[in-house]
């Protein structure tokens, strides 16, 4: 049975990636990289998602990228509300996916995994340089060259199954595989209860997608009764 | 003035790299990545080397790769003594240089640096996949694609000035730039005093190179008086 490292953030996208990987019949070792993000609630969600979807293992790895600052997600910069940003957003974390894939690569070598799965998406996050197909391809080339496994002839592949999907399509992929999206959190600035704020870029994007499917985002707080 | 991130381990090679970068007139921001190595003494050495060579800044960044194990340098596997290994050595740390360059890339973005300097060497460490020129090239391609600076048109370059030099040549480059090699430590298993053990792969390689230059490795303990 092939082994895979699945980068699991606790958000909607990576939960869907895990469900898709499980579907392919690979043994999934989930890795949640905590990089000092303000939305710590996601880390708890990752644990619950890994359990609910029956992953082989789950572990957390902490890299204090917030030491460096430089992003609204890790430093004291306001998260923009109620407006989708143009260009590279302030929520971009310098080299975040490069660092996360590198750590996943180290973990892949240690666990004997030959696949790394990541939920990057080029449609809704076109502003992030490290969410583009050319980034994933460049990292796959690097992974082959950088590792003992690669040098010894094992193919090391990077899977980004969501890269060309819209948020609606991602949710559909997850729903047909039984992902409980109420367990996930994608919010950049969640409420004390852990529910999504409903106003940051991330909440706006997923909220609109659920709405298009005639659903309410299950990660939002329940609506007050009339 | 161009800015550069210099990966400084506290060892002989990266001290030489820093001296060479300073010589090129770039503003050097040193980054010491502590990845849970057993040779913690190196971290102290890095600080002293950065100071002695007049770097613009120095900081330490901790990534607990030892959580993953998988190497004699970070896990409880014996460091081989008095024999140079064939193939990929047990002291290989999974994806180490990939992780270190990724973190350096994040730091480069935050500090506005457009160069990353690293002391990898393909001559003495031919067994390490991530010390080869093709690895450095693959990472440079990735860096261009992965970053905000790269996407916005800034060239992001990876400098590995030692890659084709022998240890003797590296020491010569350093000596002519005034590197005090007594401040460095490359030992995989240093004595409590911080001096090199004189018997691990790393001590054997540098010891032989100093000997070839008619010198005694200044990082070894003083010889007992007769």
Say what the pLDDT of residue A20 is: 98
Are B102 and B140 spatial neighbours (Cβ–Cβ below 8 Å)?
A: no
Burial bucket for residue A44 (CB in 10 Å: 0-12, 13-18, 19+) = middle
* A119 in Cβ contact with A96 (< 8 Å): no
CATH number (domain holding residue B90): 3.40.50.620
In the three-class reduction of DSSP (H, G, I as helix; E, B as strand; rest coil), residue B189 is classed as coil
Residue B220 falls inside a structural domain: no
As a three-state string, the secondary structure of B126-175 is CCCHHHCHHHHHHHHHHHHHHCHHHHCCCCCEEECCCCCCCHHHHHHHHH
Q: Which residues of chain A have pLDDT under 70?
A: 37-39, 69-92, 124-126, 226
Most confident of A56-60, B68-72, B177-181: B177-181
Whole-number Cα distances in Å, A81 to A142, A201, B99: 37, 7, 33
Of B97, B103, B143, the CB nearest to A99: B103
Instruction: Tell me which range, A111-125, B67-81, B128-142, is most confidently predicted by mean pLDDT.
Output: B128-142
Residue B158: CB atoms within 10 A of its CB come to 23
The whole-angstrom separation of Cα B10 and Cα B216 is 19
pLDDT tier at B202, thresholds 50, 70, 90: confident
Tokens of B152: 């916005």
**pLDDT (0 to 100) of residue A123:** 80
Q: How confident is the model at residue B79 (pLDDT cuts 50, 70, 90)?
A: very low
Partners of B92 on chain A (C-beta within 8 Å) are: 148
Contact A109 B94 (CB under 8 A): yes
- Is B136 inside a domain boundary? yes
pLDDT score, position A33: 87
Of A88, A141, A147, the CB nearest to B95: A147
Instruction: Give the span between the Cα atoms of A181 and A220, in whole angstroms.
Output: 10
B101/chain A closest Cα distance in angstroms: 9
Does residue A198 belong to any structural domain of this protein? yes
User: Do residues B106 and A99 touch, judged by C-beta distance below 8 A?
Assistant: yes
In a domain, A217, yes or no: no
Q: How many domains is chain B partitioned into structurally?
A: 1
Kindly list the residues from chain A whose CB atom is less than 8 angstroms away from the CB atom of residue B64: 61-62
At residue A124, the pLDDT reads: 66
- CB–CB contacts below 8 A, A to B: 135
Task: Note whether B147 contacts A63, CB cutoff 8 Å.
Answer: no
**In sequence order, what E strands does B35-82 have?**
57-62
Q: Which residues of A14-39 are buried (b: 16+ CB within 10 A; e: fewer)?
A: bbbbbbbbbeeebbbbbbbbbbbbbb
Looking at the complex, does the CB of residue A85 fall below 8 Å from at least one CB of chain B? Answer: no
Q: Is B99 in contact with A94 (Cβ distance < 8 A)?
A: no
- The pTM score is 0.86
Above pLDDT 90, what percent of chain B? 58
The reported pLDDT for the residue numbered A102 is: 95
pLDDT value of residue B76: 46
Does some domain include residue B226? no
Residue B73 near chain A (CB below 8 Å): no
Contacts of B94 in chain A (CB under 8 A): 105-107, 109-110, 147-148
The pLDDT of residue A37 is 63
Within 8 A of A126 by CB-CB distance, chain B residues are: none
Q: Report the SS3 class of residue B98.
A: helix
d(CA A193, CA B26): 49
- Pairing assessment for the beta strands A115-117 and A57-62 based on DSSP bridges: unpaired
pLDDT reported for residue B72 = 46
Residue A206 lies in a domain: yes
Mutate to test the interface with A, among B7, B58, B95, B100 (most CBs of A within 10 A): B95
Residue B48: C-alpha distances to residues A207, B13, B30, B86, B197 (Å) = 53, 15, 12, 33, 20
User: What's the full length of chain A, in residues?
Assistant: 226
Q: How far is B83 from chain A (nearest CA, A)?
A: 21
Instruction: Name the band, by pLDDT with cuts 50, 70 and 90, for residue B84.
Output: very low
Domain assignment present for B100: yes
Domain hosting residue A158, numbered range: 3-212
ipTM entry: 0.84
Cβ–Cβ below 8 Å for A94 and B103: no
Nearest residue of chain B to residue A95 (CA atoms): B106
B152 domain residue, yes or no: yes
Interface test with A, best of B89, B142, B150, B152 (most A CBs within 10 A): B142
């Amino acid at each position: 049975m092939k082994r895979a490292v699945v980068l699991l953030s606790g958000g909607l996208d990576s939960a869907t990636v895990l469900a898709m990987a499980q579907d392919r019949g690979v043994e999934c070792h989930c890795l949640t990289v905590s990089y000092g993000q303000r939305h710590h609630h996601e880390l708890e969600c990752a644990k619950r998602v890994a359990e609910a979807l029956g992953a082989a293992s789950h572990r957390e790895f902490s890299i204090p990228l917030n030491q460096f600052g430089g992003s609204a997600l890790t430093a004291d910069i306001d998260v923009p509300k109620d407006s989708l940003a143009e260009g590279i957003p302030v929520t971009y974390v310098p080299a975040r996916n490069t660092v996360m894939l590198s750590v996943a690569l180290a973990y892949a070598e240690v666990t004997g995994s030959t696949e790394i799965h990541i939920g990057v998406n080029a449609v809704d996050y076109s502003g992030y340089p490290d969410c583009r197909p050319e980034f994933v391809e460049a990292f796959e080339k690097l992974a082959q060259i950088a590792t003992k496994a690669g040098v010894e002839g094992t193919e090391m592949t990077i899977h980004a199954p969501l890269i060309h999907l819209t948020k609606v399509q991602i949710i559909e992929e997850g729903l047909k595989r039984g992902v409980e999206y109420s367990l996930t959190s994608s919010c950049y600035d969640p409420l004390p209860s852990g529910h999504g704020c409903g106003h940051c870029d991330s909440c706006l994007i997923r909220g609109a997608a659920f709405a298009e499917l005639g659903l309410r985002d299950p990660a939002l707080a329940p609506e007050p009764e009339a």
